[in-house]
């Protein structure tokens, strides 16, 4: 079974402020993160085999105290392949930061092309998954905005969150060479892992907002 995963993961935030030498001095520290991503899940089956595929792409830019930090965008692939006729069974996953991806400004469409190395949990099976997918929005924007503020004890806290996403349909190809059982033995076989449109998909951006902490140090 595929694990439930989010499009993007929220980095841990820890702000440590040292008291300055001057009294009544204000120190403001801020953390801001802009993110965009797309994910899709696929499922297909015939008389013998069933396969589930999950694709997650995310790109993140954080800004801490006016300093940018932009990690590499990442593509994650998870595959669950079962064949009751031959007994073949593979659960594999893997990531890459080498991909070509686009997300339209209104998050109405997205594309992803990547070669993703994957392996079973014990490393006994390794292969490369070729991903070539296009997303097209199928519904209106879902927007969530929230502002939280507090002020007390010489500390002023402000958090702004702006989440925007759209439901979508993903189509394309996901394929890999798999060591499948054949009448003449186990052979590496080119296998299409996607049999139709996604069963669920989403395009998202601006998933996280901004945290600002202002502290006034007493005399």
pTM of the model: 0.77
Residue range 158-173: average pLDDT?
A: 89
Which range of 24-28, 33-37, 105-109, 130-134 scores highest in mean pLDDT? It is 130-134
What's the CA dihedral at 88, 91, 94, 99 to 10 degrees? 60
Q: Which pair of structure tokens corresponds to residue 13?
A: 């935030």
Model confidence at 152, in pLDDT bands (50, 70, 90)? confident
- Among residues 2, 36, 58, 12, which one has the least CA distance to residue 199? 2
Q: Which pair of structure tokens corresponds to residue 55?
A: 């694709």
Q: Any bridge partners for residue 89, and if so which?
A: 82
What's the distance, CA 3 to chain centroid?
13
- Among residues 78, 92, 174, 177, which one has the least CA distance to residue 133? 174
């Amino acid at each position: 079974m595929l694990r439930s995963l989010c499009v993007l993961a929220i980095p841990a935030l820890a702000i440590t402020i040292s008291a300055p030498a001057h009294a009544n001095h204000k120190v403001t520290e801020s953390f801001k993160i802009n993110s965009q991503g797309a994910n899709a899940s696929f499922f297909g089956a015939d008389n013998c085999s069933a396969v589930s595929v999950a694709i997650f792409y995310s790109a993140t830019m954080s800004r801490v105290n006016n300093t940018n930090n932009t990690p590499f965008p990442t593509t994650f692939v998870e595959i669950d392949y079962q064949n009751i006729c031959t007994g073949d069974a593979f659960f594999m996953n893997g990531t890459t930061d080498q991909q070509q991806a686009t997300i339209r400004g209104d998050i109405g469409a997205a594309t992803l092309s990547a070669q993703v190395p994957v392996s079973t949990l014990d490393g006994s099976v390794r292969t490369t998954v070729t991903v070539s997918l296009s997303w097209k929005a199928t519904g209106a924007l879902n927007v969530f905005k929230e502002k939280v503020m507090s002020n007390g004890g010489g500390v002023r806290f402000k958090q702004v969150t702006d989440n925007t996403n759209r439901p979508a349909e993903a189509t394309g190809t996901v394929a890999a060479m798999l060591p499948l059982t054949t009448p003449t033995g186990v052979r590496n076989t080119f296998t299409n892992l996607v049999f139709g449109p996604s069963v669920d998909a989403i395009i998202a951006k601006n998933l996280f907002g901004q945290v600002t902490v202002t502290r006034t140090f007493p005399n």
